[in-house]
């Protein structure tokens, strides 16, 4: 599905991003695995499976890092066709009432989760234009379609991601660049599994879905790959909720 696509995935040293990177590589993509943390182990695993990956340490809130991330991908693979803006502050965020959230943390969540995807897109667009177009996938959450307590900063940031997607297509369509969003439900990434009390809540969360089971990171590979692929060549500005039918929209 992704043969010859050159795809940057941010926040991919572990968690959902790592699973997406491996899944895209299995589908024939060349992947740039980017993260603040060292993505070396994953790059090695993808390589030992006979697929192609490079690792780049980059902070999505840094203009210089975003530009370097794109430049190194172009140099290694000869171009950039896809970008998945997966990096975010999420699994380590403390659950807090709306009036107990630290205002400084609020700003940091906005900086990483909203400004980060914007800076990554801004850096990738010229490279995509050089190869005749491309596809950007944003990562939001199903939480914004219903409303949940405890993560107001996070939910506000992910609503911002969706709004950004919708406006961005008006500017990037003429450059043949598509922008779509996936909105996962609670997904059993390493970070989520490490949260206190998750084991007790999993059953109730699964029961609220049409497909009553835990959501796993690899449930997101196909939906994200579709948006990155040529099969979605006339699809832009859309949001796909991937949560086993928990929320319909
Ligand atoms: N797991 C879920 O339940 C769930 C549900 C809906 C949406 N999401 C979204 O999916 C994405 C991945 O989720 P996850 O559970 O794997 O998250 P996670 O918190 O486990 O991993 C996030 C990754 O982003 C990286 N990162 C953080 N700040 C960065 C920065 N400034 N620059 C570069 N990398 C940075 C981290 O190092 C980490 O590898 C996030 O955007 C999250 O909001 C997750």
State the distance from the centre of ligand 1 to the C-alpha of 139, rounded, in angstroms.
9
Average predicted confidence (pLDDT) for the chain:
97
State the distance from the centre of ligand 1 to the C-alpha of 88, rounded, in angstroms.
4
Query: Of 154, 184, 185, 192, which is the active-site residue?
Result: 154
Domain that holds residue 46: 6-242
245 and 188 Cβ atoms separated by less than 8 Å: no
145 is a domain residue: yes
Tokens linked to 123? 């850096």
Query: What's the number of domains the chain is made of?
Result: 1
Give 110's pLDDT tier (boundaries 50, 70, 90).
very high
Taking CB atoms within 8 Å and a gap of at least 24, the contacts of 189-193 are 189/14, 189/15, 189/16, 189/19, 189/91, 189/217, 190/14, 190/15, 190/91, 191/14, 191/15, 191/90, 191/91, 191/92, 192/91
Give residue-wise pLDDT tens across range 202-236.
Answer: 889 999 999 999 999 999 999 999 999 999 999 99
205 is a domain residue: yes
- Asked about 148 being catalytic, the answer comes back as no
Give 124's pLDDT tier (boundaries 50, 70, 90).
very high
Tokens linked to 184? 């996962």
1 is a domain residue: no
Q: Indicate the top mutation candidate among 112, 142, 183, 189 to test ligand 1's pocket, ranked by most ligand atoms within 8 A of CB.
A: 189
Count CB neighbours of 135 within 10 A: 26
CA 141 to chain centre: 10
Q: Which residues contact 199 (CB under 8 A, 6 or more apart)?
A: none
78 and 127 Cβ atoms separated by less than 8 Å: no
What is d(CA 67, CA 8) in angstroms, rounded to the nearest whole number?
12
Query: CATH number, domain at 140?
Result: 3.40.50.720
Ligand 1 pocket, CB under 6 A: 10-11, 13-17, 35-37, 59-61, 86-91, 112, 116, 139, 141, 184, 186-187, 189, 191-192
148 is a domain residue: yes
State the distance from the centre of ligand 1 to the C-alpha of 246, rounded, in angstroms.
21
83 and 12 Cβ atoms separated by less than 8 Å: no
Phi, psi of 133, deg, nearest 5: 145, -175
Residue 129 pLDDT greater than 90, yes or no: yes
What is d(CA 166, CA 189) in angstroms, rounded to the nearest whole number?
27
Give 12's pLDDT tier (boundaries 50, 70, 90).
very high
Would the pTM count as exceeding 0.85? yes
247 is a domain residue: no
Tokens linked to 241? 């909720």
Atom of ligand 1 nearest to the CA of 143: 6
Give residue-wise pLDDT tens across range 86-95.
Answer: 999 999 999 9
Phi, psi of 241, deg, nearest 5: -80, 125
């Amino acid at each position: 599905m992704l043969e010859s696509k050159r795809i940057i995935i941010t926040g991919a040293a572990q968690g959902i991003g790592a699973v997406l990177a491996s899944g895209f590589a299995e589908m024939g993509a060349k992947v740039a695995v980017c993260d603040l943390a060292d993505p070396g182990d994953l790059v090695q695993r993808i390589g030992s499976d006979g697929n192609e990956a490079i690792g780049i340490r980059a902070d999505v809130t840094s203009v210089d890092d975003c530009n370097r991330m794109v430049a190194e991908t172009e140099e290694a693979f000869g171009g950039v066709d896809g970008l998945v803006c997966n990096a975010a502050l999420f699994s380590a965020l403390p659950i807090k009432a709306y009036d107990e959230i630290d205002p400084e943390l609020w700003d940091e969540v906005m900086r990483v989760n909203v400004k980060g995807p914007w800076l990554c897109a801004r850096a990738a667009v010229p490279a995509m234009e050089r190869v005749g177009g491309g596809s950007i996938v944003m990562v939001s959450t199903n939480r914004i379609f219903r409303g949940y307590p405890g993560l107001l900063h996070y939910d506000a940031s992910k609503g911002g991601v969706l709004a950004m997607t919708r406006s961005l297509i008006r500017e990037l369509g003429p450059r043949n660049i598509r922008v779509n969003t996936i909105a996962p439900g609670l997904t059993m990434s390493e970070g989520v599994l490490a949260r206190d009390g998750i084991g007790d809540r999993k059953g109730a969360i699964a029961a609220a879905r049409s497909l009553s089971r835990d959501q796993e990171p690899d449930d997101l590979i196909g939906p994200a790959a579709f948006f990155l692929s040529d099969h979605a060549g006339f699809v832009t500005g859309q949001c796909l909720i991937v949560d086993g039918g928990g929320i319909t929209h």
